[in-house]
């Protein structure tokens, strides 16, 4: 396993409050280029909130996020995508009444330029771009293994394929960091194994992966490093072997005074 040393994302003391609830408390973590980084924690620990801050859906109340060396200040989701952060959603959010292919084509939006005039006149540049978008989308569907469903509406795809489609769509934005929010939720053993292979492949092809997951076994087997959130605070960040033995982590998952039977 090769772990490059350059830092891709650095979160420093990120705070997020909802009314009186401190959903994130001075969370700091560092994701290095080329690694698979896991973010785990019990329900309500703030994992998805961190995702939403990272991808520009929420503005942080304090702290800074550095992505590829530059601040992700006051960003909005589309600028986050433009900067190279793509995401999937815990409760799959596809464009239900578009075909699988079209879903991925939408993902190409941020890396393409054609406007109204191009659309109406269909000049050579626009035609070329459309052709490239379509080819890229087809490639990506093939890459995640659902090329045969390209012309089905997204809402008619089986659950596992919907998860894959969402990943293909995120990859279409050309990300440097792919953030996956519980991609294995609701999957059976075979599907999980296929997903593990897919994520490994994505990393091998040069995209850094941030993974929120409930399935601790999957995370420990897949991730280079893992951070644990509990009650909005980061309690641990290290390689899986160390994290698994961390007393605070065990306490967070099992409650105080219990032993591990993992």
Partner 1 sequence: MQRLLASLRRDRRAAMIASLVLGVVLAVLPFVVGGALGNSWLRVLDFALLYIMLALGLNIVVGFAGLLDLGYIAFYAVGAYLYALLASPHFGLHLPVWLIIPAGAVLAGIFGVLLGAPTLRLRGDYLAIVTLGFGEIIRIFLNNLNAPVNITNGPQGISGIDPIRMGGISLARPIDFLGITVPSLHAYYYLFLALALLIVFVSIRLEDSRIGRAWVAIREDEIAAKACGINTRNIKLLAFAMGASFGGVAGGLFAGFQAFVSPESFSLMESVMVLCMVVLGGMGHIPGVILGGILLTVLPEFFRHSAGPLQVTLFGKVLLDPEALRMLLFGLALIAVMLYRPAGLWPSGTRRRELGSDAA
Partner 2 sequence: MDIFLQQIINGLVLGSIYALVALGYTMVYGIMGLINFAHGEVVMLGALVALSVVSVLAGSGLPGVVIALLGLAVAALVCMAVGFTIERIAYRPLRKAPRLAPLITAIGVSIVLQNLAMLVWGRNYHAFPPVLPASQHEILGATITSLQLAIIAIAALMMAALVLLIQRTRLGRAMRATAENPAIAQLMGVDIDRIISFTFVIGSALAAVAGLMVSANYSIAHYYMGFILGLKAFTAAVLGGIGNIAGAMIGGILLGLIESLGAGYIGDLTGGFLGSHYQDVFAFFVLICVLVLRPSGLVGEKLAERA
CB of 129 or CB of 246, closer to partner 1: 129
- Rounded to a whole number of angstroms, the minimum distance from the CB of residue 74 to partner 2 is 17
CB of 18 or CB of 159, closer to partner 2: 18
CA distance 74 to 71: 9
The position carrying tokens 């005074």 is 257
CB of 18 or CB of 62, closer to partner 1: 18
Cβ 98 vs Cβ 154: under 8 Å: yes
Residue 94 interacts with partner 1 (CB under 8 A)?
yes
Residue 67 interacts with partner 2 (CB under 8 A)?
no
Instruction: Choose, by CB under 8 A, the member of 55, 162, 207, 208 that binds partner 1.
Output: 55
Out of partner 1, partner 2, none, what residue 106 binds, judged by CB under 5 to 8 A for its kind, is partner 1
Cβ 15 vs Cβ 60: under 8 Å: yes
Residue 147 interacts with partner 1 (CB under 8 A)?
no
CA distance 110 to 106: 8
Instruction: Choose, by CB under 8 A, the member of 89, 195, 207, 227 that binds partner 1.
Output: 89
Residue 115 interacts with partner 1 (CB under 8 A)?
yes
CB of 67 or CB of 89, closer to partner 2: 89
Pick from 101, 99, 125: nearest CA to 112: 125
Residue 13 interacts with partner 1 (CB under 8 A)?
no
Q: Kindly list the distances between the CA atom of residue 82 and the CA atoms of 67, 110, 165, 181, 195, in Å, as whole numbers in the listed order.
A: 12, 6, 20, 19, 26
What are 2's two structure tokens? Answer: 């090769």
Instruction: Choose, by CB under 8 A, the member of 151, 190, 206, 255 that binds partner 1.
Output: 151
DSSP 20-79: TEEEEEEEEEEEETT-EEEEE-STTSSHHHHHHHHTTSS--SEEEEEETTEE-TT--HHH
Question: What are the strands, taking DSSP E only, across 100-224?
Answer: 177-181, 208-212
For residue 113, which phi and psi values (nearest 5 degrees)? -130, -15
Q: Which residue stretch of 45-53, 59-67, 215-223, 232-240 sits at the interface with partner 2 (rule: CB under 8 A)?
A: 45-53
Instruction: Choose, by CB under 8 A, the member of 76, 125, 186, 239 that binds partner 1.
Output: 76
Helix, coil or strand: residue 18:
strand
Q: What does the binding site for partner 1 look like in residue numbers (CB under 8 A)?
A: 55-57, 76-78, 81-82, 86-87, 89, 93-99, 102, 105-112, 114-116, 118-120, 122, 126, 129-130, 133, 148-153, 156, 169-170, 172-173
Kindly list the residues in this chain that would bind partner 2 in the complex (CB under 8 A): 18, 48, 51-52, 57, 89
């Amino acid at each position: 396993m090769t772990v490059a040393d350059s830092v891709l994302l650095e979160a420093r003391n990120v705070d997020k409050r909802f009314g009186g609830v401190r959903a994130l408390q001075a969370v700091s973590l560092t994701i290095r280029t080329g690694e698979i980084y896991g973010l785990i924690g019990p329900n309500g620990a703030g994992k998805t909130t961190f995702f939403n801050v990272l991808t520009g859906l929420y503005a942080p109340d304090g702290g800074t996020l550095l992505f590829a060396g530059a601040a992700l200040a006051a960003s909005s989701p589309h600028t986050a995508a433009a900067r190279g952060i793509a995401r999937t959603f815990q409760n799959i959010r596809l464009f239900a009444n578009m075909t699988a292919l079209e879903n991925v084509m939408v993902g190409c939006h941020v890396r393409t330029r054609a406007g109204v005039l191009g659309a109406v006149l269909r000049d050579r540049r626009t035609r070329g771009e459309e052709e490239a978008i379509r080819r890229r989308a087809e490639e990506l569907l093939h890459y995640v293994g659902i090329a045969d469903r390209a012309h089905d509406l997204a809402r008619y795809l089986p659950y596992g394929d919907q998860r894959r489609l969402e990943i293909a769509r995120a990859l279409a934005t050309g990300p440097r960091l792919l953030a996956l929010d519980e991609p294995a939720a609701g999957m059976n053993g075979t599907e999980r194994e296929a997903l593990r292979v897919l994520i490994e492949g994505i990393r091998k092809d040069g995209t850094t992966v941030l993974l929120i997951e409930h399935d601790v076994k999957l995370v420990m087997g897949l991730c280079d490093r893992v951070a644990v959130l509990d009650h909005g605070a980061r309690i641990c960040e290290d390689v899986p072997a160390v994290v698994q033995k961390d007393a605070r982590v065990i306490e967070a998952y099992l409650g105080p005074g219990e032993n591990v039977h993992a």
